[in-house]
Structure 1
Amino acid sequence: MKRKIALVTGGSRGLGKEMAIRLAEKGLDVILTYQGNKDLAKETVKSVQEKGARSVALKLDLTDLSGLSAFTGEVKESLESTFENPGFDYLIHNAGMGGTIPFETATEDQFDAFMNTHYKGVYFLTQKLLPLMNNDGGIVTLSSGTTRFVNPGYSIYASMKGAVETLTKYFAKELGHRGIKPNVVAPGPIETDFNNAAIRNNPQLKERLSGMSPLGRVGVAEDIGGVVAFLCSEDARWINGQRIEVSGGINV
């Protein structure tokens, strides 16, 4: 029986790296993407391989969508050469960019960069890769707790995440005939290097956000990776079109 394969965008570090490792622990092979740091991607590939899974890292820049067709070709080639499999099973949209941008000073260039990475890229990358996806798999898209509660400076980021939450419901309706189950995972505040490590580098912010959770802390990458891996398993076969917030109960 062939091993199932997951493709994780932005899988070289942070949440994506943890997802890749947890997927490998569940017996999946992993294709991961990176934007600029090839060395970090190689380290993650090695970590996945140490779990007994096959893995490969491919470059993907979602700020420039003109490369999606070429990337799709690289995925097809890797499936055949590395995994000896014509298709993959799970697509995890994790790649992202952060930034605290007040509404009054936001620019069109900033808006367009977030749009490409967080919404338009998700939309058209899914469309391009769909012919390579096996039936009865799934799509997991990372959203944000800020689609439910407001954090000033996140008007661009959160509105794009709100868009992919709606898009996920349409994926569920339009791809259901193939048994593909799309879901959203929405983390709360996570201490990683996202958004220039805003939480890690700001003790006052970390303390304030920790106080908003009944559990008294912010999240870490390990809190998210296992949830994504679960959604890419048979145990989650009846979860479809859902938004799952993984935030420690912040602003409950």
Structure 2
Amino acid sequence: MTADRIAIVTGSARGLGLAAAVALAKRGTRIVITYRGEPSRADGALDAVAVAGSEAIALQLDVADVDSIQQFAHALPAALEARWGKREVDVLVNNAGVGRWGAVGEIAPDDLDALLDINVKGTILLTQAVVPHLVDGGSIISISSMLTRRVTVGSAAYAASKAAIETFALGLALELGPRRIRVNTIAPGPTATDFNGGAMRDDDGMRDFLAANTAMGRVGEPEDIGEAIATLATDGAAWITAQRIEASGGALI
């Protein structure tokens, strides 16, 4: 059952995070939306969760900012209790991330800093901050990438940042196993979002090439990934942990 559960979905104001929040909400899960900047950035996600038949609150979070992570973790229990009479969550979806691209020898130091600060350091520190507020028997799902297994020119640094999260999940699964907390990663393939400038969504030539090299014959949609995340959070996946699950429609096999 997922009804009456609470899930934190980072970076859920748009893209894959929003799709995950909606998919979880359709199963009755209540959502903690996170956003950067102005509170109005969460309005669309709050409305989408309501349309999906559930409830949500929005808390500010910048995973690249250690102080912001600490403030989020401090505010979380009181916010949960005020809205739902609980002080713990059942699911953490580490979705917030960034893409930076460049061939070996060309990746800029600032871009590398962003990859490490957001994709790696941010995910690890946020997870560390949320685990004390996660119920025994809960679930942690982090977003990796198909590129950790099929790197393309210019993606090596990004892929390395995501590979770090896959390895982190293995260790975390072992450490949290005694609490029956499952830890997994979802590795999306090419998906039509605004990520990487919206190339998978807006570049018809790229979409046609990828569709022709994907077993299912198309580029993924955000809902495809959101449903995979929500399914992995259910009791039906209670015996799945320390796994990397690719959701790519069979791209580049």
1:226 aligns with 2:212: no
Deviation (angstroms), 1:38: 3.8
Pairs within 5 Å for 1:133-212: 133-212=134-213
Q: Does 1:107 align with 2:104?
A: no
C-alpha contact 1:4 1:89 (8 A) present in aligned 2? yes
Q: Residue type matched to 1:95 in 2?
A: A
Q: Distance in 1 between matches of 2:98 and 2:81?
A: 31
Counterparts of 2:139 and 2:17, CA distance in 1: 17
Q: Which moved more, 1:58-67 or 1:84-93?
A: 58-67
Aligned residue for 2:84, secondary structure, equals: coil
Stretches (4+) displaced over 6 A: none
Identity %: 38
How far apart in 2 are the matches of 1:100 and 1:238?
A: 36
Tell me if 1:121 matches 2:95.
no
**Contact 1:54 1:83 (8 Å CA) reproduced:** no
**Range with bigger deviation, 93-102 or 5-14:** 93-102
Flag structure 1 segments of 5+ consecutive residues without an equivalent. none
Return 5+ residue gaps in structure 2 as ranges: none
Q: 2:53 — aligned with what? A: 52
Superposition deviation, residue 199 in structure 1: 1.9
For residues 214 and 125 of structure 1, the distance between their equivalents in structure 2, rounded to whole angstroms, comes to 35
Paired letter, 2:172: F
Could you tell me how far apart the structure 1 residues matched to 2:52 and 2:197 are? 30
Letter matched to residue 55 of structure 1:
A
CA deviation vs aligned residue, 1:80-106 (integer Å, no higher than 9, x gap):
111210100100000111233222221
1:84 aligns with 2:85: yes
Taking the aligned partners of 1:152 and 1:139, their CA distance within structure 2 comes to: 31
Distance 1:192 1:161 in 2: 18
2:12 corresponds to which residue?
11
* 2:7 aligned counterpart, secondary structure: strand
Contact 1:13 1:40 in 2 (8 A): no
- Alignment RMSD, CA only? 1.5
Partner of 2:131: 130
Aligned AA for 1:237?
A
Match of 1:36 in 2: 37
Question: Alignment partner of 2:245: what SS?
Answer: strand
* AA partner of residue 11 (structure 2): G
- The one-letter amino acid of 1:87's match is E
**CA offset digits 1:27-65 (Å, max 9, x no partner):** 110001112364342111112123332201111112222
Q: How many pairs does the alignment contain?
A: 252
TM-score (norm 2): 0.95
Helix, strand or coil for the counterpart of 2:172? Answer: helix
For residues 204 and 50 of structure 1, what CA distance do their matches in structure 2 show?
A: 34
User: TM-score normalised to the size of structure 1?
Assistant: 0.95
Change in Cα spacing, 1:37 to 1:204, as seen in structure 2 (3 Å) is farther
Q: Secondary structure at the match of 2:201?
A: coil
How far is 1:198 from its partner? 1.7
Q: Could you report, residue by residue, the CA deviation over 1:105-130 in whole angstroms, capped at 9, with x for unpaired residues?
A: 21222111111111111111111111
Paired residues of 2:101 and 2:107 also in contact (CA < 8 A): no
Pick which of 212-221 and 139-148 moved more: 212-221
Higher alpha-carbon deviation: 64-73 or 169-178: 64-73
Contact 1:21 1:47 in 2 (8 A): yes
Query: SS in structure 2 opposite 1:91?
Result: strand
